[in-house]
Structure 1
Amino acid sequence: MKALAILLSLALVLFSTNVYAQEPNNVIPPFTDPEFPYPKNGMFKMPALIDCGKPEYVQKVLDDFKEVPVGDGMTFVVRPDGIMQPGPFTFYANPETSSTSIVIKFEPPFGPGIWCMIHSGTNFAPARQGDAT
């Protein structure tokens, strides 16, 4: 009798769970916020991840794509805590394949000795000047 009560209780639990199931709601509500994602001043922070590593690992990627240094400058990245982290950068390009990379070099005194690829791209070409017509 005890086994029958346990069996019936178990069956009740197993079969009653479907009572609470619902059909999936595949309706997407209409997008109605004309300001999203642009704030009042027209600019916003795009959350992004950048690839960083020891200089020898980043240099290997540059070597794999046969990119050579083209120019240097100073730039910054905004850290997750909101602080602008400055550092020198090098622009690399492969003149044959038109691939490009920008690497910021957080070496002392700018950082702990890591390089970050803040840009990788293709189809690099001189900018067009004047009217396109």
Structure 2
Amino acid sequence: MDIIVEQFAQARLITAEDREVPVSATLRYLVGDPLAVFVDFPAEAALHGEEVTWTFARSLLDQGLRAPAGEGDVQIWPYGRTRTVLEFHSPHGMAVLQFPASALRRFLVRTYEVVPCGHEDLAGVVERGLSTLFGGV
């Protein structure tokens, strides 16, 4: 069975009008996908009224808590001492969210307690990826 680390987090969506709208999110980590973290947003927080999940590297979250990180669809950086910004880009637009840095750090620590950095099963990740790519189960 896959060990899952889940943690609820309250974020603030920064709108184009520079307003802050409260948004709930669930942070997830799966031992079966040890290099990634997932951020789930409920339907009411999404543009199209459907739940949305963003997946990105656990190392990106770790780096972004300390300094600006990311060059692609997900960018993360500290905002003052108590907040961290996660910026998500998609073909449908961009979302900028501020999370309490303490909540993200707590989640990250919990993931490292389950799978320490450098102890990820990379062979298993590659095997599952190739199986998915070539139509295996």
Q: TM-score, normalised by structure 2?
A: 0.32
Q: TM-score, normalised by structure 1?
A: 0.33
